[in-house]
Chains A and B, each alone.
Chain A
């Protein structure tokens, strides 16, 4: 364990923003903190950075407790969503600021700034002011500034969410590449599951101030433990136990032994096989074409279903189909979403 947060709790008045949260980051790991708005991601990040205090719980790095260390002594790097560059300093001064504070020599700073500007592919901007840069450029500079001092941990709070789609995709892969080459342990906050899936070695999924599930992107996508995670990580078909029992009882094999209401079946849209069959039980309602795949909405004894298929199969609305669902593709998740039965 390189960096850990243990049993962190944080309240704002009566409101519990973090409720006994524990997380860990390994050396060189890229971890995404994922969750809906207001679930406490930023709060957790700020606690790690030292910008906020916990009510209880500790942050440690390489076994050393950080609780009494102010943010400026921690040697971390941070990038916010926006507005964090120093408006009255040039790009070069911004990037060199951390080194200047540490008393580095001028030529050393200049060399490092040049190197970082190359790294983020903006060597021509050294003498510009932040207000003269586009949003994407600003974020690149903020990134360069954060890694200039070889931080022990890099903290990113939704660094991409203020950018438009194309810039976001470009910068996303660059961040990933940069992090891989430099090997800086990185914690990135995001509420975009696609971003998390694409970037992370490990995803920590949060909801209502608690960690719901942590694991690799594959874990969270293919083996969600709760209904919240299944829902949040991409689309899924969620089907109640009694419906499965009635329509396709073989899927019950993998179900944990628990009352009906506790678990619900989760079947990803790409795991349902469709075969044209005049006596089939399912009917095509609507088809949308998404370039590389087709999204098909069905009416079936299991209820309305969403299926994604690649290429082949010229279905049209009204067609009868037979469904094929393998038991290993039916994941049983705990129903943690209150009062929202399908």
Chain B
């Protein structure tokens, strides 16, 4: 602390403050890091160890040998891959049609399309399956009206349900790629003489290339890891997710479940890795780009509007029928309307809904706080710490919810460590929800931080504000919209997720999505529909609340970013 340190600056900051900064940065990074190790890395290690633990408690590969030798496993794997591929193809094609309609065509009602397209995100995935059964099942509307009976349980039903469920993601990802192309690029092509068809082929398609690739991998992951639809409408069409469930819940064979889990992890990790690579290849939005405003072209816009309408009707009808069915006295024999199904007769009634709301609020608040801490800390942490941490923080997205849930039950249902205390508590469900969606939350905050001009932060720093002050006064207001988004994202996902929590609920502690599944299992389909509607109402309210808050912040920010 002599002359050598003088060139640092003339601010004359006392050395003590400098250390305080360091300590704060360490805390910022340390707390989320401990969380990630304890609630992500450790359980994942356990699941791996259990997969190689033989019946007599030794380590060995006999579980793998058994699983790989069973025809049931290969059938489920084949089904998962075929289902993943088919859903991907269908969702990406339909998603492209919607995104192209929204961003590259001129017709009215786009707000409506946007609203309808997000509907599947408001409900547990199995609601798609439920709706399809009411629509196309043996007692479904179509059969009742037209006498067309089809076998909805199995491949086709699952394909449609999965496609509807993955569609919003496909639309968002492809749409984001489409808007990257500047309006002036199209205008230049237009003036050069390119016909609309050529512009589509030479400009739009190449621009959407990485978006399409990205969407394909995301949809593939969503599909092969989803449990709800497969459980409700899959019928005999077993897939890996249902296979894990039957190993663990049906046969109480945890180690075999772990093996299947690891096998499901492989394609997911591969797809996730490729998706991240593809992401990087896609360009960033130029700063003062001009938005493309399509002009009405009947030959293009009328067919596109028709297709968009059809797809939206399909999405809407599946959700709407669930809503309608929840009021029908005795589907399909007595179609008079009643509220009686909202009186849930299953043990516990609505208690699981209230618990789920509390869990979701806690997961959202705690999770937002933790990813914010992590993002703040990462800005100050040395590169050799920051880089591996970023990789770690991005890893949970590659882990299927079923596998994470299984890892949790293996880890926390063992009396070996004090972590056992968490078993069977609502807290653990909140925790699994947060780590299940950790990556998306983290990446959202990081994106928000990237928009923070570092000049602003430096200016505050040179005014003598320490890291703590900088975080509260400068960073927080700037990324507040991001944090709001993360909070509501975590809340809404926690409200509807099924795969990660299905193993962690107990007879005394259930969550909404599991209750819906149990109601459906018990043959109380109308009550399942009613309960689904309640969940959708809560999530829809949250979504509207988020929009309102963001709009309010946006108005007050004035010159702020236009996220």
Contact = CB atoms under 8 A, between A and B. Distances in A.
Given A49-B191, A146-B192, 8 more contacts: A51-B190, A70-B190, A71-B191, A72-B192, A75-B193, A86-B185, A86-B188, A101-B192
A239 interface: no
Contacts of B22: none
Contact of A102 (B190, B193, B209): B193
Interface range on chain A: under 10, 10 to 19, 20 to 34, or 35 or more?
20 to 34
Contacts of A97: 189, 192, 194, 202
Given A78-B187, A78-B188, A131-B283, A84 B182 contact: yes
A77 interface: yes
A76 to B, nearest CB: 6
B184 interface: yes
Contacts of A84: 182, 184-185, 187-188
Given A78-B187, A80-B184, A80-B187, A86 B202 contact: yes
Given A83-B184, A83-B286, A131-B283, A88 B192 contact: no
Contact of A85 (B185, B190, B198, B289): B185
11 contacts: A51-B190, A71-B187, A71-B190, A75-B193, A78-B191, A83-B286, A84-B188, A97-B202, A98-B193, A102-B193, A131-B283
B203 A51 contact: no
A123 interface: no
Interface string A107-133: 000000000000000000000000100
Interface of B: 181-182, 184-185, 187-195, 198, 202-203, 206-207, 209, 283, 286, 289-290
Given A85-B185, A86-B185, A88-B206, A51 B191 contact: yes
> For A83, A89, A131, which residue has the most chain B Cβ atoms within 10 angstroms?
A83
A87 B207 contact: yes
B192 A145 contact: yes
Contacts of A88: 203, 206-207, 209
A73 interface: yes
A74 interface: yes
A102 B184 CA distance: 21
Given A83-B286, A84-B187, A88-B207, A73 B193 contact: yes
A72 B202 CA distance: 15
> For B193, B207, B286, which residue has the most chain A Cβ atoms within 10 angstroms?
B193
A88 B205 CA distance: 10
Contacts of B191: 49-51, 71-72, 74, 76-78, 155
Nearest to B187: A51
A216 B209 CA distance: 49
A71 B185 CA distance: 14
Interface string A121-158: 00000000001000000000010011001000001000
A87 B192 contact: no
Interface in A305-342: none
A186 to B, nearest CB: 14
Contacts of A77: 191-192
A112 to B, nearest CB: 14
Nearest to B198: A101
> For B194, B195, B207, which residue has the most chain A Cβ atoms within 10 angstroms?
B194
Nearest to B190: A71
A46 to B, nearest CB: 8
A81 to B, nearest CB: 8
Nearest to A87: B283
Nearest to A78: B191
Ranked 8 nearest A-B pairs via Cβ: A88-B206, A84-B184, A98-B192, A83-B182, A84-B188, A78-B191, A80-B184, A72-B193
A88 B192 CA distance: 17
Nearest to B207: A88
Interface string A53-85: 000000000000000001111111110101111
A288 B64 CA distance: 86
Contacts of B182: 83-84
Contacts of B203: 86, 88
A52 B357 CA distance: 52
A84 B206 CA distance: 15
A134 to B, nearest CB: 15
Contacts of A71: 187, 190-191
A101 B201 CA distance: 12
Nearest to B180: A87
A145 B192 CA distance: 9
Given A84-B185, A86-B185, A88-B206, A72 B283 contact: no
> For A71, A77, A131, A146, which residue has the most chain B Cβ atoms within 10 angstroms?
A71
A102 to B, nearest CB: 7
Contacts of B195: 72
A98 B206 CA distance: 18
Contacts of A85: 185, 188
Contacts of A50: 190-191
Contacts of B202: 86, 89, 97
A145 B191 CA distance: 11
A96 to B, nearest CB: 11
A98 to B, nearest CB: 4
A76 B289 CA distance: 23
A73 B194 CA distance: 9
B194 A101 contact: yes
Contacts of B189: 86, 97
Contacts of B206: 88
B194 A72 contact: yes
A87 B181 contact: yes
Contacts of A78: 187-188, 191-192
A211 to B, nearest CB: 24
> For A76, A82, A155, which residue has the most chain B Cβ atoms within 10 angstroms?
A82
A85 B186 CA distance: 10
Contacts of A145: 188, 192
Contacts of B283: 87, 131
A52 to B, nearest CB: 9
A80 to B, nearest CB: 5
Contact of B193 (A83, A86, A149, A155): A149
A163 to B, nearest CB: 15
Contacts of B190: 50-51, 70-72
Interface string A10-30: 000000000000000000000
Nearest to A155: B191
Contacts of B181: 87
> For A74, A76, A101, which residue has the most chain B Cβ atoms within 10 angstroms?
A101
A98 B202 CA distance: 12
Contacts of B188: 78, 80, 84-86, 142, 145
Contacts of B193: 72-73, 75, 98, 101-102, 149
Nearest to B283: A87
A76 B189 CA distance: 11
Contacts of A74: 191
A51 B292 CA distance: 12
Nearest to B205: A88
Contacts of A101: 192-194, 198
Contacts of B286: 82-83
Contacts of B290: 83
A245 B124 CA distance: 86
A102 B185 CA distance: 18
B385 to A, nearest CB: 32
A97 B201 CA distance: 13
A146 B184 CA distance: 13
Contacts of A89: 202
A89 B181 CA distance: 13
Contacts of B192: 72, 77-78, 97-98, 101, 145-146, 149
A77 B188 CA distance: 8
B185 to A, nearest CB: 6
A155 B286 CA distance: 23
B484 to A, nearest CB: 31
